[in-house]
Amino acid sequence: MRKIDYIISMLFIYQFPDWTNFRYDAKRVLDTLGRACHKEGKLAGLLEICGGKDFEDAIIAEDIVANYAIDGHKLDTETVRAEVSKRSQGATPYIKNYLGAITNAANPLTQERLLGWHSAMGNVKTRAFRDTPSMIATEDGNMQFTGPGCERLQNETANFFDWFENTTMDSTVKAAIAHFWFLTLRPFNDKNGRLARIISTMLLCRGRNCAHLDYALSSQILEKRDEYMRILNKTQCGSGDLTEWIVWFLQQVESAVDASIARIETEIGRARFASRHAETSTDERGQRLLNAVLSGDIPREFTAKDVAALFGTSHDTALREIQSLIAKGLLRAGAKGGRSTRYSVVE
């Protein structure tokens, strides 16, 4: 069969009469969910030690920037973070709407609310679902998908809203299904991906009874963007088994939590180091080297070559800086000598 004939004859998931009776392998999903929940518990514990509004603002801003980047739109992180810090007093509509979605996650998702989000994202004056066909395809033709006809959207979205508000299940699994379902409906001509990711975040916040997440899920999806597109397309071209998609989504939640854990552990390490060596003074270059090690910008066990690259200096100059910090008790040298000697901070 020629490729074009295959595409014409292929059924998309919504063309099956019972398409929203989604199926999945409960054991695989629950095993993956358990690992993600375990990591979230660890993250919650760390946040009690080292949390706060600065961390919260950074995560929210990172998630917003990544959400747009997935669709190829670049936002300035610092500008977004400044707006996030203002919360409801901010002036940027799409940021205020994102914050509204997570802050008021317990409020029902309605057609009016969804249309408002879409309008805020692009200053769209006409608040309505698409009235033309929706089709996406890659340039090489390996992935393509056409959404349901616009004549079906009113009933299909009503069914989605009813399920969203009235179906009881684990919130993370539900977020995965809602994400997929919305991107299969594609109710708008544009911005469907960004809206799907906001809807997922809203459900995750609702399930945790919180006004923000402590991890940036969109950042993790951005890192795996090609996988994201591929598995979505594969599932949309399937017959209703969402196992692979749900497991993938849960794995991204786990990885996003891991990233937050690593960030917080780094901050805790820096705070402990600063407290332990509070009475030891360093010059600007020495402090820069210590910060680079503690933040992971250079390896925890580094060489003089790493330091030379950091400062843009010679090996000998880098070595003198290292030896100065060793003399102050801030660095130690490994057992192996010579130019390959590795150094680490004294924690």
Architecture of domain 3-265 in this structure? Orthogonal Bundle (1.10)
pLDDT score of 139: 63
Q: Which fold has domain 281-345?
A: Arc Repressor Mutant, subunit A (1.10.10)
Mean pLDDT of 103-132: 91
pTM for this predicted structure:
0.85
Q: Residue 227's pLDDT band (boundaries 50, 70, 90)?
A: very high
Q: Residue 274's pLDDT band (boundaries 50, 70, 90)?
A: confident
Question: For a pLDDT cut of 70, what percent of the chain falls above it?
Answer: 96
pLDDT score of 8: 41
Q: Is the pLDDT of residue 10 over 80?
A: no
Q: Is the pLDDT of residue 7 over 60?
A: no
> Cβ of 265: how many Cβ atoms within 10 Å?
14
Between these two residues, 147 and 124, which has the higher pLDDT value? 147
**The token pair that represents 11 in the structure block:** 């059924």
pLDDT score of 137: 79
Nearest Cα to Cα of residue 61 among 47, 76, 72: 76
| Spatial separation of the C-alpha atoms in residues 256 and 171, rounded to whole Å | 16
What value does the mean pLDDT of the chain take? Answer: 91
Mean pLDDT of 257-271: 89
Return the exposure string of 31-58: e unless at least 16 CB atoms fall within 10 Å of the residue's CB, then b.
ebbeebbebbeebeebbeebeeeebbbb
Q: Is the pLDDT of residue 5 over 80?
A: no
Mean pLDDT of 44-69: 91
Q: Residue 3's pLDDT band (boundaries 50, 70, 90)?
A: very low
Q: Parse the chain into domains and list their residue ranges.
A: 3-265, 281-345
| Spatial separation of the C-alpha atoms in residues 89 and 14, rounded to whole Å | 41
Among 40-54, 67-81, 135-149, 326-340, whose mean pLDDT is lowest? 135-149
User: What is the maximal distance between C-alpha atoms in the chain?
Assistant: 76
pLDDT score of 200: 97
pLDDT score of 241: 95
Under 8 Å between Cβ of 81 and 56: no
pLDDT score of 147: 92
144: phi > 0 → left, psi -120 to 50 → alpha, else beta; which? beta
163-175 residue pLDDT tens: 999 999 999 999 9
Among 96-105, 186-195, 261-270, whose mean pLDDT is lowest? 261-270
Mean pLDDT of 141-150: 85
- Helices 192-208 and 111-122, axial angle in degrees (round to 10): 130
| C-alpha distance from residue 25 to each of 16, 177, 207, 232, 252 (Å) | 20, 13, 22, 17, 18
Q: Is the pLDDT of residue 118 over 70?
A: yes
Mean pLDDT of 151-167: 97
| Spatial separation of the C-alpha atoms in residues 206 and 199, rounded to whole Å | 10
pLDDT score of 6: 41
Mean pLDDT of 130-134: 91
pLDDT score of 125: 74
Q: Is the dihedral of CA 51, 54, 60, 66 positive or negative?
A: negative
Q: Is the pLDDT of residue 4 over 50?
A: no
Sequence letter at residue 343: Y
> Cβ of 334: how many Cβ atoms within 10 Å?
12
Between these two residues, 116 and 335, which has the higher pLDDT value? 116
Among 22-26, 92-96, 215-219, 256-260, whose mean pLDDT is lowest? 92-96
Among 20-29, 194-203, 325-334, whose mean pLDDT is lowest? 325-334
Range ranked top by mean pLDDT from 81-90, 205-214, 328-337: 205-214
Q: Residue 88's pLDDT band (boundaries 50, 70, 90)?
A: confident
Under 8 Å between Cβ of 237 and 183: no
The three-state (H, E, C) secondary structure of the chain, written as one string = CCHHHHHHHCCCHHHCCCCCCCECCHHHHHHHHHHHHHHHHHHHHHHHHCCCHHHHHHHHHHHHHHHHHHCCCCCCHHHHHHHHHHHHHCCCHHHHHHHHHHHCCCCCCCHHHHHHHHHHHHCCCCCCCCCCCCEEECCCCCCEEECCCHHHHHHHHHHHHHHHHHCCCCHHHHHHHHHHHHHHHCCCCCCHHHHHHHHHHHHHHHHHCCCCCCCCHHHHHHHCHHHHHHHHHHHHCCCCECHHHHHHHHHHHHHHHHHHHHHHHHHHHHHHHHHHCCCCCCCHHHHHHHHHHHHCCCCCCECHHHHHHHHCCCHHHHHHHHHHHHHCCCEEECCCCHHHCCEEECC
